[in-house]
Structure 1
Amino acid sequence: MEAMETSDYFESYEDLDVHKLMLQDGPRNRAYKDAILSNKNEFKDKVVLDVGAGTGILSVYCAQAGAKTVYAVEASNISRIAEQIVRENKYEDVIKVLNKKVEDVILPEKVDIIVSEWMGFYLLHEAMLDSVIIARDKFLKPDGLMFPESATLYSVPCSVPSMYEYWQDVDGVSMQHLGMKIRENASKKPLTEIVTPEALLCDPEVVIWLDLREVTLDDIKSIEMRHVAVANKQGQYQGICLWFTCTFPSVVTEPFTLSTEPEEPSTHWKQTVIVLPTSIQVEGGSPIAYDITLTRSEENNRRYAIEVTMLDPDEVEHPEYCPCHLTKCILVRAMLEKYEKDEMPNMPDK
């Protein structure tokens, strides 16, 4: 069963529409291109490993940056097209396409840099990060670089009007019963759609931050985080929105970032939404408490099960400086402000 799932995964990347979608994602391409070509001194005459090379675009960027050798590892048959792309760009003396899983690859040398576009929906979907970690531990020199070098997954309560308000009036017909059934189905599988900044009800919270130079396979087996968010406006609490950012190393400028947050230009990842079974009216200053858990599926280790548990904000511990309107938090803020004021030295009169 597991072998079949792995085979299906790689076969899915032989679908040209998948690569068309990724290659038409301008923010994705530009983030990698800028990060690589702005670090030419790091790539010049270096050995690079591209994990999950696909059609080879990242390998070509590395060659353009002056890499001596690029090992473009791609397990699916799209590697045949990658070979043509390499020849088309006249880098066949630099880029070596290897049609294997990276776990099965044997290289004649250690590499200076690992490049990979491994991120799936809500960052971890498809679990390609496993292959990057294995490649890092097997091939990367101790002082080697990772592109990207870190990744962060965020969550934030949001409105989901496409799953609620839309069904109240479909061209003059109320279809709320159908909307309820659609939400029931959506609760079993997260949605992938564009979320507008206006739909966000709170400031985002970090679910997990990954240092790609140190993260282990055990670190990403199961992730659990409790959030106590505070609504910064009135709205309908109808779901949890997830997005991620990735950071690339840079020795000459600020680190380059690829972001899929709603305020940034849209990418093919869009955002991920976990739809709640009911819509809850919240006011500005209202606390929203929930647990979010991502657990690797036992049936398919390339997928994660996502669970959101709604909590009673009165019954969970709040952050020390929680700005919500609950009495206990107002009292704590007042005490902290008084303490800070009393601790400050008296200024002499002028």
Structure 2
Amino acid sequence: MYSLFGYGNMIADRHRMNAYVKALEGCIKPGSIVLDIGTGTGICAILACKLGAKQVYAIESNSAIAVAKLAAQDNDCGDKIEFIQAMSVNVDLPEKVDVIVSDLRGILPFFQEHIPSIIDARSRFLQTGGTMIPLRDRLWGTLVHAPELYHSYSSLWQQDIPYNLNLESPRSFLFHAWKKCTISLEQCLTEPLLFAVLDYAQISTPNLQVKLEWRAEKAGLGHGICLWFDSLLTTGVEFSNAPGQPDLIYGKAFLPWLEPVAIASGDRIICDLKANLVGGQYIWQWNSKIITGGKTRADFKQSTFNAKLINREALERRSLDYIPQVNENGIITSFILSLMDKNNNLEAIARECAALFPQRFPTWKNAVNQVREVIDDYGQ
């Protein structure tokens, strides 16, 4: 979930905002029907109204939508925007739209439910001949020399800390996680490689599986792989997040190797890269080989799955033959749900909870917060 500070940083990114404004100016016509997915604080929805849209549907699952409603009123377009707090895949609209605008990406476009949401919205809501913003994202990668960035991994859980502790095992988890980074042109050891094109008018799968291969152009110590994207929002309007370009809010992704490798000019670097959407989150896998003159000098197999702290009991609960039992929280939640839609107010439900679960809630006021959480999750 983004905070208001996070949304503010997006607006403050002038390169990103200027590109989206130009794209909207080129696509919104008087009378246009617009869908803004992930409206956040409502900036694109409000801009669409100011550009002549007749109706805007602004969808946002974050509670920031309350701020968006206020912003729409402040800009005299509250009557043209219907705000819907939900995931777009769970929404039905009364009409087709002429324009779908979104920015659901994270550091990379393969982020949470971004791609499934776009596929769903395109198929259910977009008029024939309608416009998608963005039209296309392209993904790039390069091998990088990044000693300081790598040190942010290797310096944690060092073995030379006091107390005579061996912390190599927890430290080993870190190198299966990637992070946001800033990379300069001088740190790139290979030419950038275009390895994927996401055409949002046609994309049909949220997953990625590609083989990246570079030939090192200069010698240096390689620490891992850097990935980024550039975007075509609409014809003639684009931005790039590449090294050497102005930094954007998205940043770049650094996928570390298990250890640094000295790279010689002419070395081949091969990376089998996968990103699979599982339960709303991506599992990334990058298997890298460094080859000199036909000889493999390094062979790393890494996955963000190996960075997850999942114990044996948690894995067993994911098994298809696992027989679940309801815990106390589940029983209480079920009881609260049973009292909803029966003309019970919050206080009445809390009193019932305290009466039935006195060890958990000594007084009815102790039950209020849990009742509120259930109402937030399942009520309306």
The match for 1:271 among 252, 265, 274 is 252
1:166 Cα deviation from its structure 2 partner: 8.1
Counterpart position of 1:340: none
Pick closer, same or farther for the CA change 1:184–1:77 going to 2, 3 Å.
Answer: same
Runs of at least 5 residues in structure 2 that lack an aligned partner in the other structure = 162-166, 296-380
Deviations 1:220-279 (A, max 9, x none): 23x2211220122221111010101111223xxxx2113222221112211110110111
Deviations 1:96-133 (A, max 9, x none): 22223212322221101100011112221223221121
What are the residue-to-residue correspondences of 1:88-167 with 2, within 5 Å? 88-164=74-150
1:304 aligned to 2:282?
A: yes
Give the TM-score of the pair, scaled to structure 1. 0.75
SS in 2 for 1:60: helix
1:188 Cα deviation from its structure 2 partner: 2.1
What are the residue-to-residue correspondences of 1:223-242 with 2, within 5 Å? 223-242=208-227
1:249 and 1:27 mapped to 2: Cα distance?
15
1:29 aligned to 2:17?
A: yes
Give the TM-score of the pair, scaled to structure 2. 0.69
Counterpart position of 2:180: 192
1:282 aligned to 2:260?
A: no
Deviations 1:265-322 (A, max 9, x none): 112211110110111122333221221111223xxx2221222112254669xxxxxx
- Number of equivalences: 287
Tell me, yes or no, if the aligned pair for 1:119 and 1:128 is still in contact at 8 Å: yes
1:182 Cα deviation from its structure 2 partner: 9.1
1:43 and 1:183 mapped to 2: Cα distance?
55
Pick closer, same or farther for the CA change 1:182–1:31 going to 2, 3 Å.
Answer: farther
Counterpart position of 2:242: 261
Tell me, yes or no, if the aligned pair for 1:51 and 1:102 is still in contact at 8 Å: yes
What are the residue-to-residue correspondences of 1:4-23 with 2, within 5 Å? 12-13=1-2, 15-23=3-11
Tell me, yes or no, if the aligned pair for 2:268 and 2:290 is still in contact at 8 Å: no
Runs of at least 5 residues in structure 1 that lack an aligned partner in the other structure = 1-11, 317-350
* Alignment root-mean-square deviation, CA: 2.6
Pick closer, same or farther for the CA change 1:182–1:158 going to 2, 3 Å.
Answer: farther
Counterpart position of 1:68: 54
1:46 Cα deviation from its structure 2 partner: 0.9
User: How much identity, in percent, do the aligned residues show?
Assistant: 25
SS in 1 for 2:79: coil
Counterpart position of 2:367: none
2:210 and 2:247 mapped to 1: Cα distance?
26
Structure 2 letter corresponding to 1:133:
I
What are the residue-to-residue correspondences of 1:18-57 with 2, within 5 Å? 18-37=6-25, 39=26, 42-57=28-43
Tell me, yes or no, if the aligned pair for 2:150 and 2:256 is still in contact at 8 Å: no
